[in-house]
Amino acid sequence: MKTIINGTGLDTVRIWHYDGRNVRFESFMNTTWIFVHGTPYDVDFLANQLDVVRWVSYSRERMRDVYGYMDGLRISLKPSLVPEIIRAIEAIGMGRKYSIYNGDINPVLRFMSEKNLNFFNLENPEDMDVEIPWVSVVPVYSPGGLKHTVIDGDIIKPDRAGLEAAYEAIRNSRFIIYGNRGNSFTSMLKELSNSGLYIKGVHAGKMIVYESYGQVHYKSPWIRIDGKICMDMDSFILQESGMEGAYAMSRMSSLPLEYASVVTPGTAVSSMEVSHAIGKGILIPLYKDDHEEWKSVGDLLERDRGGLVLQPDPGLYCNVYEIDFSSMYPSIMVNYNLSPETVNGSKRPVVGEFSHGSHRGFLSESLQHLLETRLFYKGIKWKNPVYAARDTALKWMLLTSFGYTGYKNAKFGKIEVHEAITSLGRDILACSIGIAHRMGFRVIHGIVDSMWIMGDGDVHKLIMEIEKETGIGIVLDGYYRWIVFLPSRSGIGSLNRYMGLRHDGTFKVRGIELRRSDMPNIAKQFQEDALKLFGQCMNPADIYSKRVDLKDLENSYMERIRNFSEGDIENYRINFKVTRRREEYRVNNIQKQALDILIRSGIEVNPGERIPVSVADRKRGILNMQPHQVDIDRKFYIKYMKRAFESFDYLVEASSPLCVQRDIREYFQ
């Protein structure tokens, strides 16, 4: 059986079929069209202008977008000429007279959607993906140049024979997973070319530095080689869900695998919506122009809010249930039929008034298949790691589908949809809290789509009642023997810092040093050992009995730092993120000091990249980025260790007979 694994081209689209052994190519002449809407006079004027253009044809047609039908010109032409005709139309219309549709769609995505074809198609959702023979090529550079190349796990020396081995691996494989951290793969391709080992058809993108939710991120340049599929092993989707997740994202978004692996999950969702629009004959605007509706100050304050978050009381709790809504926001969009054309800005949606009618909104309909597929894999992910990988990839698409409704440039986004979703989300969580109270539970914490509750009620009946009232699926995510909600620096409960031991013996931890990427391994190792120490504790008394053992464990790690061994250096490296250019740092912190060292060595580091550093002397700015180091700054690392101790010290303190969290109802029994 042949599987479509890739598509390339513009005026000629080349479809790649793979039968498990060989790749076969099938080429198709590709034509496309755009739609232009304007006043009758302006449309007539444009038609007269197009009469003298020989490389286009047009027809007058009536077509629809998500809001309704409109009259205009359908202009047919080669895909390579679309940007030119758009520039001409915008110039003729002075940038304001015409609305242009279907003008910036990925040509391969459009071809696949119009022909109803799918990448990595599965007859049955439980089928396995086709096995593709990949070769991985990871060049490793040091300040002196190419240190070695790792080819399929084998370390190859940087001599002539090593370069030839890398050249043959790239030249003889159609499927390449490369490492381009620090532009290493790009540099190696240049080194191969300078050595007379020329790889034909290499195309490189540009590195991207962007900010998201207050964090600076770096995306290395993508690499394309004609006739091959190339994927960066550091791409987000590969890191999160592996190749099976990348296949699932390509299949769902209708994007070729190379593109699906480098775009954000939000772009994949947008591409999926575009594909759905093409299949339904719905026009896709070139520019979004449905601006936010006018609101009074009162309306704005009422509507422009996020999810509902409770403030937990810090402390230790026993026999706690965690219940989570399954993909809450996407489920709200689907079950409550929320879409730009269905949302009425003057009417606030009400919990329980979900839609099962025949008139489905565009966003609701386009997300339904994604939601159902993800929930299917979530239910069977325990059967096979492949299903778990697909679940992870689709989960990320669903997570971003909500955010894109409020994104200013989203093709099918509208801020009123975003506000309606969060409004319903708040009401649904509040409604669920009320149901839990009525059924005899105490709500300890709640955050957007999750609740932690304790009590003697029937939790399964509670779940059924919440799902009946809200129309949103909800599951029991965990039953904890004990869970501790940690305090913030100010002493109040931290919203997202907790650790708990489930009845099945597994831990769930959030917000502690073990989960942070900017902590040394030695601090993470301590917390892993501390969790093992408390892994058999059934109740607060058991936890409190471990206080001496915990103190011994802390002392042993302190002693390990004091007696530092050079062979242990990798456990002291900290991955500091560079957040700006060297000249933009105003404080002489570790990031700036590390950048100074690298710049002197001729190595460029971009904002968003991470630098593995061990600290020899913090005050004097002596850092080390080499495999070996004579000494460390003990005071510096002891400070990190004390931070790692705090969460577990609080756990023991909260388990003390004098501090165990009590319910006031216990005093009246």
Question: What's the CATH code of the domain at 604?
Answer: 3.40.1820
Q: In CATH, what number is assigned to the domain containing residue 324?
A: 3.90.1600.10
Tokens in use for 581? 């250019």
DSSP secondary structure of 431-500 = HHHHHHHHTTEEEEEEETTEEEEEESS-HHHHHHHHHHHH---EEEEEEEEEEEEEE-TTSSEEEEEEEE
Binned at pLDDT 50, 70 and 90, residue 442 comes out as very high
Tokens in use for 340? 């730009």
Q: How many residues does the chain have?
A: 669
Q: Percent of the chain having pLDDT more than 90?
A: 65
Query: pLDDT of 304-343, one tens digit each?
Result: 788 899 999 999 999 999 999 989 999 999 999 999 888 8
- Report which DSSP code applies to 26: E
DSSP secondary structure of 71-119 = EEEEEEE-GGGHHHHHHHHHHHTTTTS-EEES-S--HHHHHHHHTT--T
| Co-location of 350 and 468 in the same domain | yes
| Co-location of 174 and 268 in the same domain | yes
Q: What is the reported pLDDT for 460?
A: 95
- Strand ranges across the sheet with 154-156: 154-156, 145-151, 135-142, 175-178, 229-232
With respect to residue 285, please indicate whether it lies within any of the assigned structural domains.
no
With respect to residue 260, please indicate whether it lies within any of the assigned structural domains.
yes
Q: What is the reported pLDDT for 62?
A: 97
Could you write out the three-class secondary structure of 333-363? HHHCCCCCCCCCCCCCCCCCCCCCCCCCCHH
Picking from 511, 526, 550, the residue at the C-terminal end of a domain is 511
Alpha carbons 63 and 81: distance in angstroms, whole number = 22
| Co-location of 475 and 591 in the same domain | no
Of the two residues 253 and 600, the one the predictor is more confident about is 253
Picking from 483, 511, 539, the residue at the C-terminal end of a domain is 511
Binned at pLDDT 50, 70 and 90, residue 358 comes out as low
Read off the pLDDT of each residue in 192-198 and give the average, rounded to a whole number: 92
| Co-location of 324 and 273 in the same domain | no
Read off the pLDDT of each residue in 399-407 and give the average, rounded to a whole number: 80
Q: What is the reported pLDDT for 535?
A: 94
* pLDDT(527) > 80: yes
Binned at pLDDT 50, 70 and 90, residue 128 comes out as very high
| Co-location of 580 and 645 in the same domain | yes
Neighbouring residues of 117: CB distance < 8 A, sequence distance ≥ 6: 4, 15, 111
Closest to 579 in 3D by CA, of 568, 570, 590: 590
With respect to residue 367, please indicate whether it lies within any of the assigned structural domains.
no
Closest to 399 in 3D by CA, of 462, 362, 435, 448: 448
Binned at pLDDT 50, 70 and 90, residue 541 comes out as very high
Q: At residue 617, what is the residue type?
A: D
- Helix (H/G/I), strand (E/B), else coil: 148: strand
- Helix (H/G/I), strand (E/B), else coil: 309: strand
Give residue for tokens 């550079």.
Answer: 141
Element (H, E) at 624: strand 622-624
Q: What is the number of H-type helices and E-type strands within the chain?
A: 19, 25
Q: What is the reported pLDDT for 454?
A: 95
Binned at pLDDT 50, 70 and 90, residue 624 comes out as confident
| Co-location of 270 and 173 in the same domain | yes
Alpha carbons 402 and 246: distance in angstroms, whole number = 21
Binned at pLDDT 50, 70 and 90, residue 355 comes out as low
Tokens in use for 209? 């530095």
Q: In CATH, what number is assigned to the domain containing residue 43?
A: 3.30.70.120
Question: How many C-beta atoms lie closer than 10 Å to residue 50's C-beta?
Answer: 18
Q: Percent of the chain having pLDDT more than 70?
A: 95
Question: How many C-beta atoms lie closer than 10 Å to residue 28's C-beta?
Answer: 13
With respect to residue 111, please indicate whether it lies within any of the assigned structural domains.
no
Q: At residue 556, what is the residue type?
A: S
Report the mean per-residue pLDDT for the chain.
90
Read off the pLDDT of each residue in 204-210 and give the average, rounded to a whole number: 84
- Report which DSSP code applies to 159: S
Residue 57: strand pairing partners? 76
Least confident window among 65-74, 94-103, 519-528, 658-667 = 658-667
Q: In total, how many domains does the chain have?
A: 4
* pLDDT(235) > 60: yes
Q: What is the reported pLDDT for 81?
A: 95
| Co-location of 336 and 433 in the same domain | yes
Q: What is the reported pLDDT for 587?
A: 86
Least confident window among 277-281, 304-308, 386-390 = 304-308
- Report which DSSP code applies to 320: E
Q: What backbone torsions phi and psi does residue 58 show, to the nearest 5 degrees?
A: -145, 160
- Helix (H/G/I), strand (E/B), else coil: 150: strand
Picking from 280, 314, 348, the residue at the C-terminal end of a domain is 280
| Co-location of 582 and 503 in the same domain | no
Q: What is the reported pLDDT for 64?
A: 96
Binned at pLDDT 50, 70 and 90, residue 122 comes out as very high
> For residue 441, what are the domain limits?
303-361+409-511
Q: Is 666 exposed, middle or buried (0-12, 13-18, 19+ CB in 10 A)?
A: exposed
| Co-location of 158 and 214 in the same domain | yes
* Under 8 Å between Cβ of 649 and 484: no
Residue 441: strand pairing partners? 455
With respect to residue 378, please indicate whether it lies within any of the assigned structural domains.
no
With respect to residue 581, please indicate whether it lies within any of the assigned structural domains.
yes
With respect to residue 94, please indicate whether it lies within any of the assigned structural domains.
yes
Give residue for tokens 């904002």.
Answer: 607
Closest to 109 in 3D by CA, of 273, 242, 262, 224: 273
Q: At residue 26, what is the residue type?
A: E
Largest CA distance in the chain: 91
* pLDDT(657) > 70: yes
Alpha carbons 640 and 73: distance in angstroms, whole number = 66
Q: What is the reported pLDDT for 229?
A: 93
Give residue for tokens 């180091």.
Answer: 629
| Co-location of 262 and 316 in the same domain | no
Read off the pLDDT of each residue in 638-653 and give the average, rounded to a whole number: 94
Tokens in use for 46? 């444009």
| Co-location of 569 and 644 in the same domain | yes
DSSP secondary structure of 392-442 = HHHHHHHHHHHHHHT-TT-TT--HHHHHHHHHHHHHHHHHHHHHHHHTTEE
Q: What is the reported pLDDT for 280?
A: 94
Alpha carbons 142 and 135: distance in angstroms, whole number = 23
| Co-location of 350 and 499 in the same domain | yes
With respect to residue 370, please indicate whether it lies within any of the assigned structural domains.
no
